[in-house]
Structure 1
Amino acid sequence: MPSKGSVAAVQDLSDDLELTQFGEEGEEFRNALRVERGEIEMSLILGRQTPMAAALLVTKTAPPWAAARYTTVGQLRKADFDVQHSPTRGNALHVSVFPPSDAQGLKEWDQAMASSFDQCFTCAEED
């Protein structure tokens, strides 16, 4: 276990590894980058986490409206997303999902890509 304030070691992610996306009950899950905030990746959580565990990792609180949905590394890779473990000081389980790239760099995260991202997920769960 890394010491407090340090960042966990980056793990190679196998295709069968489950991932969790945190969301809010009654709201759509995020499926696109917030370009106005400078985002270049979507954030997921390593492993299958309960909605409450996901909320604690993301918001550091335990909101009653927590929700989560699930996918695997392999599902995202089949859709050409680049999936990387990217631990932070606050979240050793942080995973970055980047859009596919081509010779010009990262592709634009448009509505078709948002739909492709959504199709990678199965059941949503609420606490």
Structure 2
Amino acid sequence: MKRIFTLVFAIVFLLGMVSQAHAQGGVNLFNPYPSSTSAPVPDYIGFTLAAGSYQYQVRVTQTNAGNITYNSGKLYVSSNKYEMRHTLPYSLKSTLSQGTFYILVECFNLSGTKIGSDSTTVTFQ
């Protein structure tokens, strides 16, 4: 019984490590759900970062038979927000359906040095 518990624990631990393989510096992308397929087009890109004031940038690039790209530019977060929701413009949301996209969130300190990032590839329905 103890060996089975240890084996199950090890598998769960390894799966957790794999799911966070792209996360760096405490940045975790949570919306859309990482590596999902047939996902609904979200209203926002959500991520978490346990830090003080910082800047962030969201990039979206189509990876299947298209050339749709989006770059939010660096945006300033003035308070200790743990959870950020970057609202997508309607013009982008309307083009995301039926495509596979690489989503990258990067966070920077106030002097512009990169402090973390997370990325995922998602197929929208």
Q: Please give the TM-score of this superposition, normalised by the length of structure 1.
A: 0.30
Which structure has more strand as a fraction of its residues?
A: 2
Structure index of larger Rg: 2
Please give the TM-score of this superposition, normalised by the length of structure 2. Answer: 0.30
